[in-house]
Protein backbone atom coordinates (compact mmCIF):
# COMPACT_ATOMS: atom_id res chain seq x y z
CA UNK A 1 0.00 0.00 0.00
CA UNK A 2 1.84 3.04 -1.31
CA UNK A 3 1.38 5.85 1.19
CA UNK A 4 3.61 8.23 -0.73
CA UNK A 5 2.95 8.53 -4.43
CA UNK A 6 5.02 10.10 -7.15
CA UNK A 7 3.38 10.01 -10.53
CA UNK A 8 4.87 11.11 -13.84
CA UNK A 9 8.03 9.07 -13.33
CA UNK A 10 10.20 11.13 -15.65
CA UNK A 11 10.59 14.80 -16.46
CA UNK A 12 12.69 16.53 -19.09
CA UNK A 13 13.34 20.24 -18.75
CA UNK A 14 15.50 22.79 -20.50
CA UNK A 15 18.42 24.23 -18.58
CA UNK A 16 17.43 27.47 -16.87
CA UNK A 17 13.73 26.61 -16.72
CA UNK A 18 11.75 25.45 -13.72
CA UNK A 19 11.46 21.80 -12.70
CA UNK A 20 8.38 20.88 -10.70
CA UNK A 21 8.09 17.53 -9.00
CA UNK A 22 4.88 16.43 -7.33
CA UNK A 23 4.17 14.08 -4.48
CA UNK A 24 0.89 12.96 -2.91
CA UNK A 25 0.42 11.16 0.36
CA UNK A 26 -2.44 9.35 2.00
CA UNK A 27 -1.62 9.34 5.72
CA UNK A 28 -2.57 12.52 7.55
CA UNK A 29 -0.36 11.48 10.49
CA UNK A 30 2.85 12.26 8.59
CA UNK A 31 4.58 15.12 10.41
CA UNK A 32 7.62 15.80 8.26
CA UNK A 33 8.35 15.63 4.57
CA UNK A 34 11.65 15.39 2.75
CA UNK A 35 13.10 15.27 -0.72
CA UNK A 36 16.14 13.19 -1.58
CA UNK A 37 18.24 13.26 -4.71
CA UNK A 38 19.97 10.21 -6.12
CA UNK A 39 22.61 9.90 -8.82
CA UNK A 40 23.27 6.52 -10.47
CA UNK A 41 25.54 4.24 -8.45
CA UNK A 42 25.30 6.50 -5.40
CA UNK A 43 23.15 6.55 -2.31
CA UNK A 44 20.40 9.16 -1.98
CA UNK A 45 21.34 12.48 -0.44
CA UNK A 46 19.05 14.74 1.54
CA UNK A 47 17.94 17.81 -0.37
CA UNK A 48 15.28 19.77 1.50
CA UNK A 49 12.56 19.19 4.05
CA UNK A 50 9.42 20.77 5.47
CA UNK A 51 7.52 20.37 8.69
CA UNK A 52 3.80 19.68 8.53
CA UNK A 53 3.16 22.97 10.34
CA UNK A 54 4.61 24.98 7.45
CA UNK A 55 3.52 25.45 3.87
CA UNK A 56 6.77 26.52 2.26
CA UNK A 57 10.49 26.07 2.74
CA UNK A 58 13.13 27.54 0.50
CA UNK A 59 16.82 26.75 0.19
CA UNK A 60 18.61 28.42 -2.66
CA UNK A 61 17.25 27.11 -5.95
CA UNK A 62 15.03 24.58 -4.19
CA UNK A 63 11.61 25.27 -2.72
CA UNK A 64 9.21 22.77 -1.25
CA UNK A 65 5.51 23.57 -0.95
CA UNK A 66 3.10 21.68 1.27
CA UNK A 67 -0.67 21.66 0.90
CA UNK A 68 -1.96 19.67 3.85
CA UNK A 69 -5.60 19.86 2.91
CA UNK A 70 -4.79 18.28 -0.44
CA UNK A 71 -2.13 15.97 1.03
CA UNK A 72 0.19 17.21 -1.65
CA UNK A 73 3.70 18.55 -1.77
CA UNK A 74 5.87 19.75 -4.59
CA UNK A 75 9.52 20.53 -5.19
CA UNK A 76 10.46 23.45 -7.40
CA UNK A 77 13.94 23.79 -8.82
CA UNK A 78 14.67 27.19 -10.33
CA UNK A 79 16.70 27.54 -12.44
CA UNK A 80 17.33 23.95 -13.41
CA UNK A 81 20.93 22.99 -14.08
CA UNK A 82 22.44 19.95 -15.83
CA UNK A 83 23.77 18.75 -12.47
CA UNK A 84 20.19 18.46 -11.26
CA UNK A 85 19.70 15.47 -13.55
CA UNK A 86 18.97 12.69 -11.08
CA UNK A 87 16.19 10.68 -9.50
CA UNK A 88 14.25 12.55 -6.83
CA UNK A 89 12.49 10.74 -4.02
CA UNK A 90 9.76 12.20 -1.89
CA UNK A 91 9.62 10.88 1.68
CA UNK A 92 7.24 11.32 4.59
CA UNK A 93 7.85 10.65 8.27
CA UNK A 94 5.62 9.09 10.89
CA UNK A 95 6.81 7.67 14.20
CA UNK A 96 10.38 8.32 13.14
CA UNK A 97 10.04 6.08 10.10
CA UNK A 98 10.20 7.28 6.54
CA UNK A 99 7.97 6.15 3.71
CA UNK A 100 9.39 6.83 0.26
CA UNK A 101 7.79 7.38 -3.08
CA UNK A 102 8.89 5.56 -6.22
CA UNK A 103 11.02 8.44 -7.44
CA UNK A 104 11.00 10.84 -10.38
CA UNK A 105 13.73 10.87 -13.01
CA UNK A 106 14.67 14.43 -13.97
CA UNK A 107 16.73 15.15 -17.06
CA UNK A 108 17.95 18.71 -17.55
CA UNK A 109 18.80 19.40 -21.15
CA UNK A 110 21.71 21.83 -21.66
Q: Contact with other proteins (CB under 8 A): which of 88, 103, 106, 108?
A: 103
Interface with other proteins (CB under 8 A), residue from 22, 49, 52, 74: 49
Is residue 73 at the binding interface for other proteins, with CB under 8 A as the rule? no
Q: What is the CA radius of gyration of the chain?
A: 13
Determine, following the binding rule CB under 8 A, whether residue 102 of this chain makes contact with other proteins. yes
64 touches 74 (CB < 8 A): yes
Name the residue among 73, 55, 62 with its Cα closest to residue 18.
62
Considering only 13-21, 42-50, 54-62, 76-84, which stretch makes contact with other proteins by CB under 8 A?
42-50
Q: How many residues does the chain have?
A: 110
CB 81 within 8 A of CB 62: no
Q: Please report, as ranges, the residues that interact with other proteins according to CB under 8 A.
A: 4, 6, 9, 32, 34, 36, 41-46, 49, 89, 91, 93, 96-98, 100-103
Amino acid sequence: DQQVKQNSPSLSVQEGRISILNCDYTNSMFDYFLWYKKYPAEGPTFLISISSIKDKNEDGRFTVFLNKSAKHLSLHIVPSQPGDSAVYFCAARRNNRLAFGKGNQVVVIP
